[in-house]
Amino acid sequence: MSALRRLSPLAVGLALALPLSAAAGTFSVLTYNVAGLPEGLSGSHPATNHPQVSPLLNPYDLVGVQEDFAYHELLVADLTHPYQSIKDTNPGPWGEQLGFAFGDGLNSFSRLAFGDFTRVTWNECFGLVSNASDCLTPKGFSFQRHELAPGVFFDVYNWHADAGNDEEDRAARRSNTRQLYDFIAANSAGNAVLVFGDTNSRYTRDGDVLPEMLAAVGLTDVWVELERGGVLPTIGSSLSAGCAVDPSAGDCERVDKIMYRSSATLALEAIDHEVLAALFTDGAGEPLSDHDPVYALFRYTVVPEPGTAALLGAGLLVVAARRRPRA
């Protein structure tokens, strides 16, 4: 790993040194499946762990969570982000019959103002009391729009795709992926885009279509770009050999991913990536969820219209940050 790409979490939280209307700066992103189903159903212990997770989210400018179902108030109790989505309480067809309203589990916490927050439910799911029970809640994706400068937008998508490995699961997941990128194509034309979340997909898995999505809407996967030199994994055995040594490494693929693209008015550059397995643990060193959070740092540059480059040039900021010691 390049030493220049391991940045202090505290420095990340303070890195947005210019107003958001400035010509350039940085912002940090974290995606995290918090395993917030009720105790006994969750893959973790959210009633105990969410209060520990909450303050750990504060150093990051833009946080997207998945499975924020039953313990939302515990998760947000110590947040300092001024912009937060309102928890979804849509029960979905099965939740209504069974008497619960967990919603889609997707929420955004941000230091960057956003609007147009929208939730979209998947057209297809598979599994009610088996196959990860994907149809029990109205899973899907969310959309929000940020304005970094007048008329300069980037759109953010947070998604949680169908889980499981049976062919019906894979078919539902392919449908989810295509539904999302069709929405991006229709609603984010001409805008920079960030896409993150629990994709439940792997590049190595036959039947998943992440490369199709990247090509369809021009996205770059941060892990592929920074950890694998831009080389997509091929279909075959899952990449897990390096996970015990370095969970961020190019030979350790996660289903939790961060992707992005620039636009004609906003250049985005991924300058850091890390799986924060060692930071999000309890006092005994145990993980606070059954997923590890994935972090990325982006540098943004507002692309001036012709004739304004000289005026904006003086406002460019070079952000320096300390190297983060590896855990």
Domain boundaries, the chain: 3-313
Report yes or no: 157 and 174 within 8 Å, Cβ to Cβ: no
The pTM score is 0.86
**pLDDT reported for residue 95:** 58
Residue 91 pLDDT greater than 80, yes or no: no
Question: Which among 327, 233, 253 is positioned nearest to 294, based on CA atoms?
Answer: 253
**pLDDT reported for residue 106:** 97
* Phi, psi dihedral angles at 309 (to 5 degrees): -60, -40
**pLDDT reported for residue 314:** 36
- The average pLDDT across 70-85 equals 97
Residue 297 has a CB neighbour count (10 Å cut-off) of 24
**pLDDT reported for residue 43:** 76
- The average pLDDT across 143-159 equals 92
51 or 316: which leads in pLDDT = 51
132 or 256: which leads in pLDDT = 256
Looking at the chain, the whole-number percentage of residues with pLDDT higher than 90 is 70
Q: Return the amino acid letter for 297.
A: L
Distance, CA of 54 to CA of 39 (rounded, Å): 18
Per-residue pLDDT tens for 121-146? 999 998 665 566 778 888 999 999 99
**pLDDT reported for residue 148:** 83
Task: Give the model's confidence band at 100: pLDDT under 50 very low, under 70 low, under 90 confident, else very high.
Answer: low
158 or 149: which leads in pLDDT = 158
Residue 212 pLDDT greater than 80, yes or no: yes
Task: Name residue, tokens 């941000």.
Answer: 110
Per-residue pLDDT tens for 169-204? 999 999 999 999 999 999 999 999 999 999 999 999
Task: Give the model's confidence band at 321: pLDDT under 50 very low, under 70 low, under 90 confident, else very high.
Answer: very low
pLDDT, mean over the chain: 85
Task: Name residue, tokens 């309102």.
Answer: 86
Give the count of alpha carbons within 13 A of 231, CB side only. 7
Distance, CA of 231 to CA of 223 (rounded, Å): 10
**pLDDT reported for residue 92:** 66
Looking at the chain, the whole-number percentage of residues with pLDDT higher than 70 is 80
Per-residue pLDDT tens for 275-310? 999 999 999 999 999 999 999 999 999 987 654 444
259: tokens are 């992707």
Q: Which fold has domain 3-313?
A: Deoxyribonuclease I; Chain A (3.60.10)
Q: Using alpha carbons, list the distances in angstroms from residue 197 to 67, 123, 194.
A: 10, 18, 10
Report yes or no: 141 and 160 within 8 Å, Cβ to Cβ: yes
**pLDDT reported for residue 93:** 65
